[in-house]
Amino acid sequence: MLAAAKPVCFVLAADLPKARAFYTDTLGLTETGEDPFAVSYDLAGTLLRLTKVEGHTPNPHTVLGWQVSDIEAAIDAFVAKGVTFAIYEGYGQDARGVWTHPASGAKVAWFLDPEGNNLSLTQAP
């Protein structure tokens, strides 16, 4: 029943104005609307609703990620905007926070939004 339905993504934020500035200015996403509960963005044809939730506590796992063609260039661009990439103990990431999947060679880097939501960049091998 949902195979042909268009998905909608939700990222939660207690401080919606601060999160909105990050998603709009730092990540460069295009706003498509706003209502009393959320700011909407277009994610390459998928709707993202950055939704206000009082007392939001972020989960430790990745909630949203992007496939990029050049992870090093993407990291450079985000670092220039003040983004810090996470390094997790035991993952074997490089100094910039890039983990390379041992079997596929895919590269992944993680960073947090102002709410502590874990976001990622992935470069296919």
Q: Which CATH architecture has domain 58-125?
A: Roll (3.10)
Domain 8-56, CATH number (from 3.40.640.10, 1.10.620.20, 3.30.565.10, 3.10.180.10) = 3.10.180.10
Rama region for 87: left / alpha / beta (φ>0; ψ in -120 to 50; rest): beta
What pLDDT was estimated at residue 1?
87
Q: Residue 109's beta-bridge partner residues? A: 121
Per-residue pLDDT of the chain (125 residues; tens, 9 = 90+): 899 999 999 999 999 999 999 999 999 999 999 999 999 999 999 999 999 999 999 988 999 999 999 999 999 999 999 999 999 999 999 999 999 999 999 999 999 999 999 999 999 99
Q: Which alpha helices (DSSP H) does 1-125 contain, by range?
A: 16-21, 71-80
Topology match between the domains 8-56 and 58-125 = yes
Tell me if the pTM is above 0.75: yes
**At 6, which amino acid appears?**
K
Q: Residue 8's beta-bridge partner residues? A: 47
Domain boundaries, the chain: 8-56, 58-125
